[in-house]
């Protein structure tokens, strides 16, 4: 009886290990664990290209398209130039006000629309923008009354910080919304 327990004690873990390997479906060397580079990429439905006036295509970037669809380009793609206008940005914001807007107050006002290299946008918003330094981005500065999203039952206290703005950051080539952040507009 004692020998039977010892055999079961040794065979039990072995059976579990074999079952685990079979369940995984591949030996360790085929899994390439730790052997490759980990990359987080967005799924796209094609290469990021834009039409050029002569009917050809201009590669806008070798990386996957980032952000969420927002402004549809209205201008022909040219290296270092945006594919949409300030009016396109203002129209998009009018139709898509930020969720942080207090809807019981007048709509947000687009104070400025600037087309800048990513490094300048990052400096203006005091936050990384996760784009190549020379990538053309669109920075829209919005003023308005903002209502932070708070958990149920939590009420804001104190008065809002004066000159608080929301920055919307768009890819200057695709028109995609890359992000939103807030800050204090020091130009006021």
CATH code of the domain in which 80 resides: 3.10.450
User: Is 26 inside any structural domain?
Assistant: no
User: Is 117 inside any structural domain?
Assistant: yes
User: Is 154 inside any structural domain?
Assistant: no
User: Is 174 inside any structural domain?
Assistant: yes
pLDDT at 11: 56
User: Is 110 inside any structural domain?
Assistant: yes
User: Is 86 inside any structural domain?
Assistant: yes
- Quote the CA–CA distance of 165 and 134 in Å, as a whole number: 25
User: Is 35 inside any structural domain?
Assistant: no
Instruction: Per-residue pLDDT tens, the chain, 188 aa: give them.
Output: 555 555 545 555 444 544 443 444 444 443 333 333 333 333 333 334 343 333 434 444 445 668 999 999 999 999 999 999 999 999 999 999 999 998 999 999 999 999 999 999 999 999 999 999 999 999 999 999 998 788 999 988 888 788 899 999 999 999 999 999 999 887 76
pLDDT at 6: 53
pLDDT at 155: 85
Count of domains for the chain: 1
For residue 114, give both structure tokens. 């600037």
User: Is 129 inside any structural domain?
Assistant: yes
Domain range enclosing 180: 66-149+159-184
- Quote the CA–CA distance of 116 and 124 in Å, as a whole number: 10
> What pTM value is reported for the model?
0.65
pLDDT at 157: 83
């Amino acid at each position: 009886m004692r020998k039977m327990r010892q055999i079961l004690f040794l065979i039990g873990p072995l059976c579990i290990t074999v079952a685990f390997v079979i369940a995984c479906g591949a030996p360790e060397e085929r899994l390439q664990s730790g052997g490759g580079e980990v990359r987080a990429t967005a799924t796209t439905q094609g290469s990021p290209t834009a039409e050029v006036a002569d009917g050809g295509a201009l590669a806008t970037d070798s990386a996957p398209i980032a952000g969420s669809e927002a402004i549809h380009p209205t201008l022909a793609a040219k290296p270092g130039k945006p594919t949409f206008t300030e009016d396109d940005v203002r129209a998009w914001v009018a139709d898509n006000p930020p969720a942080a807007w207090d809807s019981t107050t007048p709509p947000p006002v687009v104070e400025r629309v600037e087309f800048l290299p990513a490094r300048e946008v990052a400096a203006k918003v005091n936050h990384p923008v996760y784009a190549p330094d020379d990538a053309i981005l669109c920075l829209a500065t919005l003023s308005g009354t903002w209502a932070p999203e708070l958990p149920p039952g939590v009420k804001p206290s104190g008065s809002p910080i004066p000159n608080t703005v929301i920055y919307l950051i768009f890819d200057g080539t695709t028109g995609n919304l890359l992000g939103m952040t807030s800050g204090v507009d020091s130009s006021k």
